């Protein structure tokens, strides 16, 4: 069977992708993950041992990565430090993983002539004004705002340079905000859901007018599989599902779906440099590769996600206390 190396496969989107691949293809999956605070081996616990191999390690460890890449067919690179608020508090791990780690993977795929798909974010494009009629496209200039998004932008540029200078067979995708099961409680949607489950009030940064373009993690996975199978080498594809909503609307919807008054939340200190709005135009992916999202109704996807957190308190509870202590220190 063909073998996929999934970096960061014990994190939110990587573990959803491992489930998607094992349930929808013949690929065997090898996950390499450092198990930082954001990684959780339990997110892969229900996958069959004959299809999934787990290796604990750092993607910046060139010797380990060389060994692993030499023995697979395709590398799908999810591993990253991924949270903006952490990057504003301590940027150093973002440079290590997002830049040095991506460099180690690029050197290994170059040496062995392996196919790479690099996972990135819409945040590399900076933000849009609320009333801007345009959305991000593959041609939008890079303009990142935070240590997180600037290191992701840097990792994309490394991939592009290795394609051009060394002929590495890579593709890149830049996706909008994901939601779904297995997302760490530091992120917006799981934080609010688990606050309500704990009897705490949701916390909205600033006025809550900032807009994010939401996509279910399964739709992100199907888009990545489409690019691996049909994408043109050297190309970038934007992934999005036309899910723009402001944060206030999302908090009110979570409260309503959980049977609470829609105004039972608190405004807290805003994020420094807070990007106003992200919006993805995924026309290229849809017209060239024929991809379509399957979660067309955000409310249904959100209700299923709430149900998952309700049923899986044992998965998220160990991280909740430290996460809220971190936010309390920031006044958030």
| Residue numbers annotated as active site | 122-123, 148
Is residue 84 a contact residue for ligand NAD (CB under 6 A)?
Answer: no
Q: 151 or 195: whose CB is closer to ligand NAD?
A: 151
C-alpha R_g of the chain: 19
Among 135, 152, 216, 248, binds ligand NAD (CB under 6 A): 152
> What is the total count of residues that contact ligand NAD (CB under 6 A)?
29
Among 20, 27, 78, 94, binds ligand NAD (CB under 6 A): 78
Q: Which residue is nearest to ligand TDX (CB)?
A: 121
Write each residue from 240 to 259 as x if it is in contact with ligand TDX (CB under 6 A), else as -, in one continuous string.
-------x------------
Q: 8 or 208: whose CB is closer to ligand NAD?
A: 8
Which residues on neighbouring strands pair with residue 28, listed in sequence order? 3
293 interface partner picked from ligand NAD, ligand TDX, none, CB below 5 to 8 A per type:
none
d(CA 223, CA 239) in angstroms, rounded, equals 7
- Indicate the DSSP class of residue 80: -
CB 101 within 8 A of CB 79: yes
CB 126 within 8 A of CB 145: yes
Among 6, 12, 285, 301, binds ligand NAD (CB under 6 A): 12
Q: 56 or 264: whose CB is closer to ligand NAD?
A: 56
Computed from CA positions of residues 251, 254, 255, 256, in that sequence, does the dihedral angle turn out positive or negative?
A: positive
Is residue 203 a contact residue for ligand TDX (CB under 6 A)?
Answer: yes
Is residue 277 a contact residue for ligand TDX (CB under 6 A)?
Answer: no
Choices 42-50, 184-192, 215-223, 257-265 (CB under 6 A): range interacting with ligand TDX: 184-192
Choices 39-47, 103-111, 154-162, 204-212 (CB under 6 A): range interacting with ligand TDX: 204-212
Token duo for residue 277 = 């709005």
d(CA 68, CA 66) in angstroms, rounded, equals 6
Closest distance of CB 64 from ligand NAD, Å: 9
Chain length of the chain: 332
Among 16, 82, 236, 305, binds ligand TDX (CB under 6 A): 82
Among 28, 33, 252, 275, binds ligand NAD (CB under 6 A): 33
Closest distance of CB 208 from ligand NAD, Å: 18
285 interface partner picked from ligand TDX, ligand NAD, none, CB below 5 to 8 A per type:
none
d(CA 97, CA 104) in angstroms, rounded, equals 10
CB 84 within 8 A of CB 124: no
Closest distance of CB 31 from ligand NAD, Å: 9
Query: Which phi and psi angles does 248 have, rounded to 5°?
Result: -60, -45
CB 98 within 8 A of CB 123: no
The β-bridge relationship of strands 215-216 and 28-33 is unpaired
d(CA 176, CA 83) in angstroms, rounded, equals 14
Nearest to 7 by CA among 47, 49, 61: 61
Cα dist from 186 to 107, 121, 223, whole Å? 32, 18, 25
12 interface partner picked from ligand TDX, ligand NAD, none, CB below 5 to 8 A per type:
ligand NAD
How many Cβ atoms from other residues are within 10 Å of residue 205's Cβ? 17
Residues forming the site for ligand NAD (CB under 6 A): 8, 10-14, 33-36, 38-39, 58-60, 78-82, 97, 101, 119, 121, 152, 175, 177-178, 184
């Amino acid at each position: 069977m063909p073998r996929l190396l999934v970096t960061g496969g014990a994190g939110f989107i990587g573990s959803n992708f491992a489930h998607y691949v094992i349930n929808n293809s013949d690929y065997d999956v090898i996950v390499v993950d450092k198990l930082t605070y954001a990684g959780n081996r339990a997110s892969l616990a229900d996958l069959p041992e004959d299809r999934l191999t787990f290796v604990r390690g750092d993607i910046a460890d060139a010797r380990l990565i060389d060994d692993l890449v030499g023995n697979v067919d395709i590398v799908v690179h999810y591993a990253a430090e991924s949270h903006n608020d952490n990057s504003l508090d301590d940027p150093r791990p973002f440079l290590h993983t997002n830049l040095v780690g991506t460099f180690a993977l690029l050197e290994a795929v170059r040496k062995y002539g392996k196919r790479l798909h690099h996972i990135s974010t819409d945040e590399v494009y900076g933000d849009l004004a609320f009333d801007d009629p345009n959305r991000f496209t593959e041609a939008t200039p890079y303009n990142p705002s935070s240590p997180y998004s600037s290191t992701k932008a840097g990792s994309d540029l490394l991939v592009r340079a290795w394609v051009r200078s060394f002929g590495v067979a890579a593709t890149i995708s830049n996706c909008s905000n994901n939601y779904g099961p297995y997302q760490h409680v530091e992120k917006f949607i799981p934080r609010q859901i688990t606050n309500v489950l704990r009897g705490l009030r949701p916390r909205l940064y600033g006025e809550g007018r900032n807009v994010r373009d939401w996509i279910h993690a399964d739709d992100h996975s199907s888009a990545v599989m489409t690019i691996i199978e049909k994408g043109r080498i050297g190309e970038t594809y934007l992934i999005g599902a036309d899910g723009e909503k402001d944060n206030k609307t999302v908090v009110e919807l979570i409260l309503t779906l959980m049977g609470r008054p829609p105004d039972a939340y608190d405004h807290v200190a805003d994020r420094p440099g807070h990007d106003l709005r992200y919006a993805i135009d995924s026309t290229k992916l849809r017209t060239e590769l024929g991809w379509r999202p399957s979660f067309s109704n955000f409310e249904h996807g959100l209700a299923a996600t709430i149900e998952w957190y309700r049923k899986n308190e044992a998965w998220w509870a160990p991280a909740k206390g430290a996460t809220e202590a971190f936010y309390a220190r920031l006044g958030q």
